[in-house]
Amino acid sequence: MKLYFMGICGTAMGNAALLARAAGHEVLGADSGVYPPMSRVLADAGIVAYDGYDPARLERLAPDCVVIGNAMSRGNPEVEWLLDSRALPFTSLPAMLHTSILCRRRNIVVAGTHGKTTTTAITAFLLREGGGDPGFLIGGVPQDPPTGAHLGSDSDPFVIEGDEYDSAFFDKRSKFIHYAPHIAVLNNLEFDHADIFRDLADVQRTFIHFSRIVPRNGWVVRNGDDRNLDALGSMAWTRVVRVGVGTANDVRIDGFEEFPSGSSFRLVWKGHPWATVTWSLTGLFNARNAAMASVAVALSAAGPSSGEIPAVPPPVSFSALGRFRGVRRRQEVLASGPRITVIEDFGHHPTALAETLASFRLRFPGAVLAAAFEPRSNTARARVMQNAFLEALATADEIYLGPVSRAEQLGSDERFDGPAVARSLVSRGRRAESFANNQALFERLVEGSAGSAAGGGRRVVVFFSNGSFDGIVAKFAAIAQAVA
């Protein structure tokens, strides 16, 4: 089949295009400004990516199906031509993945408000380290496994990040509804994506729909400490394993400790010691990610026909976790030295910011903790979570607020109010500023870090954004490394 991907240079679209190519399809596509790194990866795979959208070219290419990414909307010239002409069939990316790959595999689908990318990467990594050849599609850039997409063997599981965001402009169902889970991992559940969900109950509703397609011989691996997941009920139609720190969980995280070089914890399966893990990742949230992934891997080895939770879990390659390097832009250290450390994090939800900053307090005791935050996601740039962001950022010593992305699309009473947040933080004794552009923020950070370095002491600067911060992160890291 000849498949044409609209928005092919996006991480998910590009990796899916690579999977389709590996599955034997002819693949091509287009994007608005063909850009690296995905453009280079596609070219190396022999996939042509056209620059810009052109209905006449699309008609001439005559693919068997057009895969429309969820970044596409009405007004795109190729979208409008497809709707006007009805000349070619089209589908969403999640629907294409189901039809082409997932419908015939035993899938491990990792869902949750936070930690999906890291947990998906850990699951794929452990399966590979155990000698399997799993397929996987990771919504970020992992360091382990060494690529974000792999078709794998049909006889092995397929691990995929299960996003609750909508599938396409014409399909407002959550992506994970298409993913045919055999094992559904429910890491956590909070209100997010305020542009498509009305409230927490609305998010819980789509998670209920997701859990209902887990087969009776499958598994739900859920965070047993998360009360928001209780709204999903007992899920009596399948088997449920609860994971967490609480004593009522089937698999418990015990003895968590954090130190500058990483963290350690123990896992207890049905009251019996299972594993002790020491690794380079920090934060209880990452220990939970590892626990959820490990349980999913163990259950996948148990097979679809096993009954209740095994009294003795199948073996998991826990020693490999000591080599796991994580995912790019997830607490990624870009510069490090005795005077200054620079970290980039994909965090764009208040809980993610709060948990990461709390972890850094333990990891860097006595350091000045500076948080730079770019309100860029559809939820972060709106006012709906402003107070929650304020509380999370107040755990830092210094706060630098970037401009609201696409601010002109929101009314003044609808968008995140950076100056107001900064004033509130100052009233709490924090050093806080809001900036009209990221270049000004960058200059102030350089100024502040130079002063801190001259005065002695350690400084940790963390950038929180799901975007690029207009390129200032790499620039600042390079300057910091020279004086670190």
Q: Alpha carbon 49 to chain centroid distance?
A: 25
Query: Out of 27-36, 198-207, 211-220, 225-234, which region has the weakest mean confidence (pLDDT)?
Result: 27-36
Span 90-116, average pLDDT = 95
Whether residue 342 is found in the same domain as residue 430:
yes
Whether residue 380 is found in the same domain as residue 410:
yes
Residues 182, 185, 191: CA angle, nearest 5 degrees: 130
pLDDT band at 303 (very low <50, low <70, confident <90, very high): low
Whether residue 254 is found in the same domain as residue 349:
no
Whether residue 299 is found in the same domain as residue 436:
no
Q: Alpha carbon 476 to chain centroid distance?
A: 24
pLDDT on residue 313 = 85
Whether residue 145 is found in the same domain as residue 209:
yes
* pLDDT of 425 strictly over 80: yes
pLDDT on residue 199 = 93
Q: Give burial (CB, 10 Å; 0-12/13-18/19+) of 139.
A: buried
Final residue before a domain boundary, out of 272, 297, 323: 323
* pLDDT of 306 strictly over 80: no
* pLDDT of 484 strictly over 80: no
The phi and psi torsions of 458 (rounded to 5 degrees) equal -105, 145
> Quick one: angle between helices 418-427 and 386-393, nearest 10?
40
pLDDT on residue 394 = 96
Kindly tell me the number of DSSP H helices and DSSP E strands found in the chain: 13, 23
* pLDDT of 272 strictly over 90: yes
Q: Mean of the per-residue pLDDT values for the chain?
A: 92
Final residue before a domain boundary, out of 67, 93, 119: 93
Final residue before a domain boundary, out of 323, 344, 363: 323
Structure tokens at 132: 């399997």
pLDDT on residue 294 = 97
| pLDDT digits 0-9 by tens, 154-169 | 999 999 999 999 999 9
* pLDDT of 266 strictly over 60: yes
DSSP letters spanning 87-108: -S-EEEHHHHHHHHTGGGS-EE
Name the domain count of the chain.
3
pLDDT on residue 456 = 60
DSSP letters spanning 271-323: TEEEEEEEES--SHHHHHHHHHHHHHHHHHHH-TT--SS-SSPPP--GGGGGG
Whether residue 247 is found in the same domain as residue 276:
yes
Whether residue 272 is found in the same domain as residue 374:
no
Whether residue 21 is found in the same domain as residue 69:
yes
pLDDT on residue 451 = 60
For residue 238, what are the domain limits? 101-323
pLDDT on residue 417 = 95
Task: Return the CATH number at 284.
Answer: 3.40.1190.10
Whether residue 233 is found in the same domain as residue 112:
yes
Whether residue 72 is found in the same domain as residue 110:
no
Whether residue 26 is found in the same domain as residue 56:
yes
Q: What percent of the chain has pLDDT over 90?
A: 74
Task: Return the CATH number at 346.
Answer: 3.90.190.20
Whether residue 300 is found in the same domain as residue 153:
yes
pLDDT on residue 259 = 87
pLDDT on residue 326 = 82
pLDDT on residue 373 = 96
pLDDT on residue 260 = 82
Task: Return the CATH number at 80.
Answer: 3.40.50.720
The phi and psi torsions of 160 (rounded to 5 degrees) equal -140, 140
pLDDT band at 305 (very low <50, low <70, confident <90, very high): low
pLDDT on residue 483 = 73
pLDDT on residue 452 = 56
* pLDDT of 453 strictly over 60: no
